[in-house]
Chains A and B, each alone.
Chain A
Amino acid sequence: MTAGPDGARANAPGGPPADVIVLDAVTRVFQVGDSEVRALDGVSLSVRRGESVALMGPSGSGKSTLLNVLGCLDTPTSGRYVLDGEAVEKLSEDQLADVRQRKIGFVFQAYHLVARMSAARNVELPMIFAGVPPAERRQRAQEALTSVGLAHRLTHRPDQLSGGERQRVAIARATAMRPSILLADEPTGNLDTKAGDEILGLLERLNAEGLTLVIVTHDPNVGRRAGRLLRMRDGRLVEEP
C-alpha cells in the first residue's frame, strides 16, 4: 500500500476520494498499570465508498478499539487515519466532534436512545447540536423515521417501542446528518432473529443506497452477509477472501 493522504487508489480529480476509510499502520496502546496493552498493533485498512464490511473476532481482539478509532471516539497512538479525505489522527477534541457530527453515524447494540425523549426528538438530537433550525430538523427527523418504516411512531418514547423499532430509531438518528460512514456495534445483538433480520435488511438497503457500512458482530450469519469480512486477532487484522 503506497503512502498518500487519500490512500492507495487513484481518485478522480476534485471528486470525493474512492477510499472513505484509510488506516495506515495504526496502533493503539493502553497503559494498564505498569504494562502496556497493544489493543491495535499496526492495523492497515482501506474501505471503499459504498462498501459493506463486517468485523469479527473474539472479545479482547481489539474490535471495539478499532471501531472507536474509526468513529473518532479515540485517537491512534501512532499511524495515520484518513477519513473521507481528511486526516483525523491529530485533530483536537472539538475538531473530532465536528468530524463525528458530519461524517459518522453510530448504531449501538443497546440502541442508546434517550429514554425521556420521543422517537422524533431522539432523531433530532444530532441536528440540535449541529445547529439545524427547528423546523428543518423536525422535517428531517420525520423523513428519517419514515424511511425506516416508523412514520406512525414519531411521538412514541423508547419504552413504548419494541427492540427492533428502537434500533430503527437509532438508525434513523445515525443517518439524519447524512454521514459518510455508518458504524454499527453489534446492531442485532439484543434482538431476536426476526427483528435482527429486519435490521440487517435495513442496513443493507442503506448500503445499497451508497452508505459505507462497518459492522462489528459476533454473529457469523451477519458476517457472511457483508460484502467483506475482516477478522481481528490480538490487535491485528486477518482478511478473509
Chain B
Amino acid sequence: MNTFPVGAAFALSLGAYTAGAFASLASWRKPAVARHICCGAALAGSALGGLAALLGILQGTPFHWSVPSGIPLFAYSFSYDALGGFFNLILAILTIAVSIYSLGYLKAFEGRRSIGIFGFLFHLLLLSLTIVFTAANAFLFLIGWEVMALASYGLVAFYHEQKESRQAGLLYIIMAHADVGCLLLGFALLIQGSGSAEFASFHTAAAHLSSTHQSAAFVLFFLGFGIKAGVIPFHIWLPAAHPVAPSNMSALLSGIVIKTGIYGMTRIFLDSLGGVPSWAGLAVLIVGVVSAVLGVLYALMEHDLKRLLAYHSIENIGIILMGLGAALIFRVAGHPTLAAVALIAAMFHTLNHAIFKCLLFLGAGSVLHSTGTRNMEEMGGLIRPMPVTAFCFLIGAVAISGLPPLNGFVSEWLTYQALLTGFGAIAGLTRILFPLAGSMLALTGALAAACFVKAFAITFLALPRGAESRNAHEAPRTMLIGMGWLTLACAALGLGVTWFLPVFDAMTEQLLGERVAAHLVTGHGLVLSAGMRTSGTVSPFVIAVGLLVLMLPAALLVAIGVRRFGRKRGPVWDCGLPGLSEENEYTATAFSKALRMIFSVLYKPRREIQAVFDVSPYFPKEIRFESEIEPTFEKRLYAPLQEFLFRVSSRMRTIQAGSIHAYLAYIFVTLVLLLLFGVRK
C-alpha cells in the first residue's frame, strides 16, 4: 500500500514543530507575534500529525524510513506503525486542544514572561514526543527520551523564581536520569544479544536470551518506564512537578508525557522482547493495583487542585497497568484473543485518561487564571462566573470517575471484563488475583468519585470562600474552545465506542496477531460486548438515551407541580441562627475527614488546634487549625536513600581533593587499565 501520504504528513508535522520551536524563539521580542506563531505552529503540526496517525492506523501497513548516520549502532530510523500511530493520535488530539487553549492562556504571559522560550520548550517537547513514538532505533529513542525530559524540566521549572518550581524541577531531573539509566542498561542487554540497535532486530535476539537475561531486561525496562509513568513507589516526582508547570503544560505532562512510559512498556514487553517471564504480567498487575489504590487515596487528601489531579494520574496509570498486566499474563498463557481484549482495555484507558486529564488540567488552569490560586479552600461558587469552564470540568470529573455513559466508564468496563475472563482462563492459584484486582478497581473508582465530588463541589459550587473567587471571570473564548474540544471527545468516545473500536485492530494484529474489534460489537453496532467467555454487554449510547427518556416524565411531573404550586428561592436552613456565610460551608479538608480517619494507618494524620479564649472556654475568640498527613514514601523510602547517597558522596570527597596532579594521575591510571583490558580481549 502507498505509505507516501503517511510519511509526508509525518515529516511535515516534524517540520512544523521544528519551525515552531525556532520561530517562536526568534520572535521573542514581540510577545504577541511569538504567541501566535507558537500556537499556530503547534496546531498545524498536531493537525498534520493527527492526519498521519489516522492514515497510518487505517492503512495498517507500517511506514519505515531510515537514514544511516555513520556512527556504529546509530541510525535515524523511524517506523510509523499501529502502536506508535495510536500514541501519535493521542498526542494530536491533546495538542489541538492545548494549542487553541494556549492562544488565550499565554496572553497573560505577555510582557511578564518570555513566550519565545516557552514556545521553544513547548515545540521541543512535541518534537521529542513524536520521535519517541516513532523511533525504531534504540539510540534515537533514547535521544528523543532525553530531549523530552529536558524540555519537560524547562517547563516544570518555568516559574523559576519560585522555590517550589526549582525544587520540583530538580527532583524531576534526578528521577528522569534514574529512569534513563535503567533504560540504557536494558537496551545494552538487548543490543548485546542482537548486535544491532534497531528495534526490529530485537525480536529475533530476544528469543535467544537466557531466562535470567530476559528477567533482568524486564526488570530494567519496567523500572525505567515505571519511573516515567509515575507508578508507586517511584511517583514522588509527579505530584511535585506537574502542578508547578504552567497549566497548559501540566495538561500535556499528565496527559501524554507520562504515557510514554506506557508506550515504552507496550513496545518492549509485547513487541521487542517477544516474550516476558511468566511472573512479569503478575508484577505489572500488582504494581497497577497498588498505584491505583494508593494514588487515589493520596489524591483525596489534597486541597491543591492541581496536585489532586496529579495524584489521579498515578491512579489512572495504575488502572492502565492492570489491563496491560492482564494482557501479558494471557499472552504468556497462550490466550492471544483474551490478551487482545485486555490490551484494548489498557490502550483505550490510556487514550481516555489522556483526554479527560488534559481537560481537567485545562479547567484547573482556567480557574487558576481567573482566581490566581490553586488552593481549593479559597474557591467556591465559580459555577456562576465561569459556567462553561464548570460544565467542562464536570464532564471531565464524571469521565475520570468512570461513570457511565462517558469514556472512562467504557475503558474501566473493558478492564473489569478482561480481569473476570482471566479467572476462567488461567489455571492455578494466581487466578484468584484477578477478581481481587477487580474489587480493588471498584474501590478505586468509588474513591475517585468521592474525590471528584469534592474537587468539583468545593471549587465550583456553593458560596465563594475568598475574595479572588468572588471577583472571578470566565476564561477567554479560545480557552473555552480548547476545553470544549476535549469535552466533546469524552462524550464521543463514550457514546460512540463501538464505532471507534476498529482503530485498535491494526495494533492488536501487530502485537498479538489477533483482530478482535468485530467480536466486541453486537446488537446492531450499538452494544459493546466482552467477546469470548464472559458474555457481558453494555451500551453507553442506549444508557444515555434511556436516561434522557426516563427523565422526561419526571421533568413533566416537576413542571406541572411548579406551574400549579410555584417555586421560589429562599435562604438555606441555618438552624435558626441568622447569617449563614461561606464560613459555615463544608471545606475540602472536612469532606475528606471521614476517609482520613478510616485510612489513618496509611496517612498517619497529625493535627494541631490552637484556640484563643476570651472569657469563657465555650466561646473561643480565634481558632487555628493545622492538619497534615505523613508523606510515607518520602519519609520512609527516599529520605534514607538520600541520606545514604550523601554519606557515600562525602566519603568520595576524599579522592576529589581539588589537586590537579591527583586528577591527572587518576586519568592516567584509568587509561592504562582500559588499555590493558582492551589488549587482553
Does B bind A? no
Binding site for A on B (CB under 8 A): none
